[in-house]
């Protein structure tokens, strides 16, 4: 993946930095996830790539946030299911729903089986740009919102907001760009996301997204990794 699609995307960095335009249409012929939907083999490889890149974040996230006491957690854009699977292993009382595009459903099913938690997890294929299933206590989105510019990001959050019941919480796990001009990993990731029409965000930018979706950013929990957990509630 890094030697093919990502390599060609990074080749357009200068142009993207100059214009602010993403590089997917030039290199992949469509938006990133339209390309993935057209090429299910590449989507499966991308999904494995996400497992490799994001798995080290899972234990720090589960240590930073207390999931005990909640009945149902939905991992929205949960991909291969490694985060939700680990969460279900740590919290045997929790039920899981994994919501993602149909092409990654099989990989998620296999993860749940391998971890022995299939009986507590429903794999629900669909598009979060259209709708999100209802009634979970927690809606979890790790590295999902950073794939999208504000308009689509707000659509996804609004669809989660519609699905939430009284007392539900929404958790966005992303890097948060700090104020100031020092080095930080989030700024490198911001360049990567620029190439695929996404972006990393600052705290005020997240607060604004939440508010446009009818949600309130309640608190931000740092983890021992680069990502933080931004907790949103119905105001």
Ligand X SMILES: C[S@@+](CC[C@H](N)C(=O)[O-])C[C@H]1O[C@@H](n2cnc3c(N)ncnc32)[C@H](O)[C@@H]1O
- Binding footprint of ligand X on the chain (CB under 6 A): 33, 50, 54, 77-79, 83, 100-101, 104, 127-129, 142-144, 147
Buried b (16+ CB within 10 A) or exposed e, 43-73: bbebbebbbeebeebbebbbebbebeebebb
Give φ, ψ of 10 to 5 degrees: -65, -25
Which is closer to ligand X, CB of 75 or CB of 137?
75
In this structure, the dihedral spanned by the alpha carbons of residues 9, 13, 19 and 23, taken in order and rounded to 10 degrees, is 0
Closest approach of Cβ 235 to ligand X, in Å? 26
Q: What is the DSSP letter of 178?
A: P
Choosing from 43, 91, 143, 146, the catalytic residue is 146
**Rounded Cα distance, 40 and 50, in Å:** 15
| Annotated catalytic residue 146 | yes
Residue 205, CB-side half-sphere exposure with 13 Å CA sphere: 16
Choose among 165, 166, 70, 81: nearest CA to 115. 81
**Rounded Cα distance, 155 and 142, in Å:** 16
Which is closer to ligand X, CB of 41 or CB of 182?
41
Closest approach of Cβ 76 to ligand X, in Å? 7
Which is closer to ligand X, CB of 52 or CB of 204?
52
**Rounded Cα distance, 85 and 200, in Å:** 26
Which is closer to ligand X, CB of 15 or CB of 131?
131
**Rounded Cα distance, 2 and 122, in Å:** 31
User: Which residues are known catalytic residues?
Assistant: 146
């Amino acid at each position: 993946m890094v030697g093919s699609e990502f390599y060609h995307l990074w080749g357009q960095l200068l142009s993207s930095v100059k214009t602010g335009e993403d590089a997917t249409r030039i290199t992949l012929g469509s938006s990133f996830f339209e390309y993935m939907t057209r090429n299910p083999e590449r989507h499966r490889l991308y999904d494995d790539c996400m497992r490799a890149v994001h798995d080290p974040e899972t234990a720090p996230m589960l240590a930073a946030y207390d999931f005990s006491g909640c009945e149902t957690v939905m991992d929205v854009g949960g991909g291969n299911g490694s985060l939700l699977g680990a969460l279900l292993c740590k919290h045997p009382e929790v039920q899981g729903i994994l919501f993602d595009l149909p092409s990654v459903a099989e990989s998620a099913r296999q993860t749940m089986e391998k971890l022995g938690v299939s009986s507590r997890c429903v794999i629900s294929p669909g598009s979060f740009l259209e709708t999100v299933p209802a009634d979970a206590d927690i809606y979890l989105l790790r590295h999902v919102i950073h794939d999208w510019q504000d308009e689509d990001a707000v659509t996804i959050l609004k669809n989660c907001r519609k699905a939430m019941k009284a007392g539900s919480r929404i958790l966005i796990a992303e890097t948060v760009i700090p104020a100031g001009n020092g080095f930080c990993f989030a700024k490198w990731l911001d360049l990567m996301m620029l190439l695929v029409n996404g972006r990393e965000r600052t705290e005020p930018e997240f607060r604004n997204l939440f508010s446009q979706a009818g949600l309130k950013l309640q608190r931000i929990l740092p983890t021992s990794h680069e990502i933080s957990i931004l907790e949103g509630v119905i105001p």
